[in-house]
Structure formats: C-alpha cells, structure tokens
Amino acid sequence: MTLSTLKSSLFKALQSFSIYALIALIFLWVISAIELFIYKESHFLPMGYFSLLKSSLFIDTVFWVQWVFIPFIIFTLIFILHQKTAKIFLGSILVLLFIIHLSLINYYNTSLVLLGADLFGYSIKDIKQTVGASGGVSLISVLGVFIVLALLLLALYFIPKKWKAPKAIAIALPIASLLVYSTGIAKVIAKPQLSTDFANNLVVNKSEHFYSEAANYLFKKGYEVDIYADDYLGGPGAAQLAGLKTVDYIDDAYPFLHTRPQDDVLSPFFKAKQQAPNIVVIIVEGLGRAYTNEDAYLGNFTPYLDSLSQNSLYWKNFLSNGGRTFAVLPSLVGSLPFAENGFLALEDKMPNENSLMSILKNHGYEASFYYGGDASFDGMKGYLEKNGIDNIFDEGTFPSTYKKLPANNNFTWGYGDNELYRYYLNSQRDDTITKPKLNILLTVTTHSPFLLHNNEYYKKRFEERLDELGFNNDKKKEYEGYAKQYATILYADDAIKDFIKEYKKRDDYENTIFLITGDHRIPEIPMSTKIDRYHVPLLLFSPMLTRTAEIASLSSHFDIAPSLLNYLGNNHQVQLPEQVSFMGSGLDTVRKFRNIKQIPLMQTKTDLVDFVMGDYHLNGNNLYQLIDNMGEVLVDNPEKKRELQAAFEAFKRRNRELINEAPLVPDSIYKKYNANY
C-alpha cells in the first residue's frame, strides 16, 4: 500500500467512523429525552424537565467524546484491511452497547439505584432471586428496547450510505476525544451538582457510571494510602483530632485489635435486675428515617414506632453501616469491618471473632435467628453458624399453616412481617428460667416488589395517611408513584405494633430488651442526599427502662454490640474480653447533635466510598458537612477533606490486611470467650 493510498484510507475511515459516532450521539440524546419522560411518568422530576435534559445531554456528550477514541483506533485498523468488516464490527458493537445502556436505564427506573460494580458482588443464585422477586423484565420494556434497536439498525444501515461527515468534524472528533480521554477532564466538567442526589442520579449517563465503576473494581489494585494516614483513625498523631474518639491498635498481626472500650452508657437508664434479660433485635428491611417518626422529611409513615420511640431510648440520627442488607448482621452482631465484598462474602475464610452472639452464648444465652426468606442469601447462614447460632428459622422451616408473600414472576422473598412475628411467638417459650435468649429477627416485606395480600386495605391506609399528614393535591400526586412502598411501610409498622401487643402477654416481657432498627433505607423512594441511604432509626425499648430519651448524637450499628456487652458485663456478670476487634466504641447518649466517631460506610458489596468523621461526610471525592436531622451540604474545605481521606485510607489499609486473611483476635482470646471451646 502506497503512502497516498494509506492517507486516502485513513481519511475514508475518519469520515465513515464519524457518521457512525454521530448517529450514536443522536440516539444517546433521544434516549435521554425519553428516559426523563419515563421518570416523569413513573416517578416525578425534582426539577423542570428541560433543566434536567440540558444537564443530561451535556453529560451524554462528554461521555461520548471521551470514549470515541478507542473504538476509532480499532475501527480504523480493521477499515484499512477490509471496509465492510469494519462497518459490520462497529455496527454490532453499537447495538450491543445500546442494549446494555437501555437495560441499565430500565434497572435504574425500577430500583432507583445506579448499577455499578455491585453486580460483581453477588452470586448467580442471589442475582436470580433478586431480579425474579423484583419483577424481572417487563414485556413493555422488552418491546421498547426492540423498537429503539430497530430504529438504530435502520439508521446505521441507511444514513452512512447517504451522508458523509464534514472534513472538519471527521478530523476534530478523534483529536478532541484523545484530549478528553487523556486529561481526565470529563470527571470534572460532567459531574452533576444539582439540588438533590435524586436529581443528580437522573441525569447521570447510566452506561458511563456502570463502566467506570466496573473498571475501578476490576482493574484498581489495592488502596492508595496516604503516608500520614496513621495520624488519623488511631496512631501517634491522633491527638490532633480533638473531640473525636480514636483507637490505639495494639498488635500489627491483628489489624483491628484494641483494648475494649469500658463505657457503660446504658445502665443509668435501666432498673437493676438479678436475671439476665432476653434481647430481641428486630431489623426491619428498608426502615429509613426519611419516612419514620417525627421530623421525617418525607413524612411520618410509622405512627406506632413514633409513639413507641417516646417510651424508648431513641436515636434519631443513627446510621446503618451498609447500603444493602449484606452489612447489617456483621455490623450489628460483630461490629466488624467489611473486607472486600462485605464480611459475609469471606465465607469459609471468615476469621475468628468474639461477637455479641458468641460472647453471650459463652455466658449461657440461647441464640436464634428468624428470617422470612432464605437464610443462605448473602451468606447470612454461614456467618451465624460460625458464631454458634443455636437455631435458624427461615422459610424452609415455616409450617404449612403460614402464608408466603404474593409471588411475582413465580418468585417471592418469603414470609411477611406478621407471619414472621407469629412464627416467632409460637416457637419461643415465654420464660428465661432455663436460658436467657438473644433473638434476631430480619423482615422482608418492605423490599421490592412491595406486595401484600391485604393490598387494598393498605392502599387505602396510605391515602388516609396522606390526608393525616396534610399533604396538598400536588404532593399527593408525587407520592402516589410510591404507593406500594409506603403501603408496606405502614404494614410493617402495624406488624410491629401487633407483635409488641402480643409479646406483652408473655411472662418474660418484663425482662426483655427490644432493639428496632433498619438495615438501610428503601432506595426505591428517591433520596435527597448521599447520607440518606444509611440514615435509619434505632429504638431501644424495654419495660426495664427507668427513663426515656430522644438522642440526637450520631452512632451506628457498629456501636450496638459494644454497648450491650458492657451493660450486661456490669449488671449480669457476663465475662468480656479485654481486647476486641470491634469497629464501634459504643452508643453515644448525648441528646444534642454531634458526632465524635469515625464511621466507614459500605454502599454496596463493591463500593466502599463513604466515610463519616466528626461533622463531615466524605463520599468519593466530595466532602459534605452534616447538619441537624442528618441533612448535609456540599462544602469546599481542602484541609478537612484531606483529614477525612487520610483517616479513610488508614481504615482501608487495615481492611486490606483482613482481605489478605489477617486474623481478628488471638486464638487464646477467641477460645476463652467462645462456647464452642
């Protein structure tokens, strides 16, 4: 091939590729316009349609420019060898990419969660269960995809035959793409900064988010640790974090080993009793503070829990440590770090630990877990068995007299909250004479697809609640798009009410401590902030309480086990290890809004991107300042951001050691406080 022939082929390749690329851009724009219209019909728009569309089109364009260069190189090389093959190759790739793009849009519209690398954190079995129970893929969605793809194929076939790209565009496009790709400027100029997190997620290009997250997960090797990281989150320079609790780790061989915090903040609230109390932990799927109790910014859809909170120790600014259910048992029972894909994902490589469950079993407690679904989901069963659980009651153990939730595409999560509580009451002896009990209940009803047998009653109850909350017609219309979600919240509230009412008839009621919290917030109701996903209530209710309190200071699931153990150690001679691997230091009972803790949060099994320290929240590269009632505002404070980044990196470094199979506690401590030895 002569030089002139090569130049001619290169220019033809430029023109041909540019036409295909421009078709792709136009389809991206059209799909974004349709996407926002779909959101408007199925949800609501937090801003004007055209304001959102403007942001969406800009983000699409930057994404398109950024990723044009690599396909251009591949196309050109093939084009020089065989033009038709190059065109077929590029057309096929574009069709595949748009299938993925449309699928990601459909996923977000259904779940209101941007799909990223979390896809890689679940087994095929878990994915099938989640997708099936959530409704699978609708016929309308499939038809919509086929229509768009048919139009795309027609455009790819006919337009390149009729039009040639102008020379200026053909030459400028790969140059501009190379500049954007190599400088990384796209991450800066195409990052939405709209009024709410929901608005930002609406305009994000769903493919760009998925590919970026997947690339970070698959190709990022290890953590980049600041050389000053040990000056934060413990270490010799920790004193500079005045007012914050820090941890002095005592043995490099055990990355999270430290002296157990001695504070017993619960005893002042309880009457003294000789008999060790039963402990009942109720973890309500999706119970977020956004719609729970007084001052909930979406309105109070849990009137019973609200009344119960007034007779409880109630933490209104409380955090789950995970954005999905995978994190709740390790965080609450073991106060554990996350490892790579959540502690449960370690499976048979889980290191030995001294948890709330194992320590109480060592003191004679009987431990049981009640779950309306399959306890093996997310690896929960394996974790509980490693901690010596006595009984696991899940959907496989329910008698035939119990009724499962309505099926959706032949899938169901299992048994609803009322059935779970009824099963619990029927299977538990109402005494503590033989053994005190630690019982953990995890519900499933408030999870997609949000189906109830008595749906009509709760739909009507939802409409009545809107009137009780004084919503006008416009606000009612906005909420009607989430009627199923709110109906299940009202149902869950009633189920707890009935459970407590029945429990009061038991002989052991007077000697029982109830803890009620959420595993995370329902993502299928739009979120206003990044921290919103983790903001859940905690109620500690008991007839043994001598006084109640509404507590505004921050704590998290990490803090529950340390505080319960210190209380039981001081009042019921529970033998506690002096050295522990707990992430939490114990519940903060100060009434005013404050945070003296450093709290890592794992959004999904692959997204360890959130860290709270003091009054600040680091999400990715963004810094937010927390305000009363767990609102947050974006701030520009480089020094404070560096502090949080360094502290977060210090945690990640220790967490990385756990991934590399470092132990949590010495065998001598594990065996001494574990009933299995």
Task: Give the Cα-Cα-Cα angle 520, 122, 200 (nearest 5 degrees).
Answer: 50
Task: Judge if 237 and 213 occupy the same domain.
Answer: no
| Residues 562-583: tens digit of each pLDDT | 999 999 999 999 999 999 999 9
**Residue where a domain terminates, one of 189, 219, 249:** 219
Task: Judge if 433 and 403 occupy the same domain.
Answer: yes
* Residue 253 in this model has a pLDDT that exceeds 70: yes
Model confidence band, residue 125 (pLDDT cutoffs 50, 70, 90): low
Q: Is residue 668 part of a domain?
A: yes
Question: Please, how many CA atoms are within 13 Å of residue 44, restricted to the half-sphere of its CB?
Answer: 15
Tokens 């409704």 locate to 135
Higher pLDDT, 81 or 330: 330
Q: Is residue 243 part of a domain?
A: yes
Q: Alpha-carbon distance 370 to 618, whole Å?
A: 35
Instruction: Assign residue 551 the CATH number of its domain.
Output: 3.40.720.10
634: enclosing H helix or E strand = strand 631-634
**Residue where a domain terminates, one of 197, 219, 241:** 219
The structure's pTM equals 0.89
- 8-state DSSP, 523: T
What is the per-residue pLDDT for 464?
Answer: 97
Please enumerate in sequence order all residues whose Cβ is within 8 A of that of 572, keeping only pairs 6 or more positions apart, or say none: 276, 277, 363
Q: Is residue 677 part of a domain?
A: no
Question: Please, how many CA atoms are within 13 Å of residue 568, restricted to the half-sphere of its CB?
Answer: 29
Task: Judge if 234 and 147 occupy the same domain.
Answer: no
Give mean pLDDT, residues 346-367: 95
How many domains in the chain? 2
Q: In what order do the strands lie in the sheet with 631-634?
A: 598-601, 610-613, 616-619, 622-627, 631-634
Task: Judge if 100 and 208 occupy the same domain.
Answer: yes
Range of the domain at 266: 230-672
Task: Judge if 313 and 443 occupy the same domain.
Answer: yes
Q: Alpha-carbon distance 473 to 619, whole Å?
A: 35
Give mean pLDDT, residues 584-591: 96
Task: Judge if 185 and 263 occupy the same domain.
Answer: no
Q: Is residue 225 part of a domain?
A: no
Q: Is residue 224 part of a domain?
A: no
Q: Is residue 507 part of a domain?
A: yes
- Of the chain, the percentage scoring pLDDT greater than 70 comes to 92
What is the per-residue pLDDT for 411?
Answer: 84
Q: Alpha-carbon distance 270 to 293, whole Å?
A: 24
Q: Alpha-carbon distance 9 to 168, whole Å?
A: 17
Task: Judge if 244 and 202 occupy the same domain.
Answer: no
Model confidence band, residue 235 (pLDDT cutoffs 50, 70, 90): very low
Q: Specify the long-range contacts of residues 163-170, CB closer than 8 Å, at least 24 apart.
A: 163/19, 164/15, 164/19, 165/14, 165/15, 165/18, 165/19, 165/22, 167/15, 169/18, 169/22, 170/11, 170/14, 170/15, 170/17, 170/18
Q: Is residue 425 part of a domain?
A: yes
| Residues 51-84: tens digit of each pLDDT | 999 999 999 999 999 888 888 899 989 988 888 9
What is the per-residue pLDDT for 244?
Answer: 86
Q: Alpha-carbon distance 278 to 514, whole Å?
A: 8
**Residue where a domain terminates, one of 199, 219, 239:** 219
What is the per-residue pLDDT for 430?
Answer: 59
Task: Judge if 194 and 238 occupy the same domain.
Answer: no
Task: Judge if 289 and 163 occupy the same domain.
Answer: no
Task: Judge if 283 and 194 occupy the same domain.
Answer: no
What is the per-residue pLDDT for 231?
Answer: 47
Model confidence band, residue 5 (pLDDT cutoffs 50, 70, 90): low
Task: Judge if 279 and 160 occupy the same domain.
Answer: no
Task: Judge if 332 and 246 occupy the same domain.
Answer: yes
| Residues 404-440: tens digit of each pLDDT | 999 887 788 899 999 999 999 999 865 555 789 999 9
- Amino acid at residue number 112: L
Residue 87 backbone dihedrals phi, psi, to 5 degrees = -70, -40
> In 142-277, which ranges are E strands?
258-259
β-pairing, 598-601 vs 278-284, is unpaired
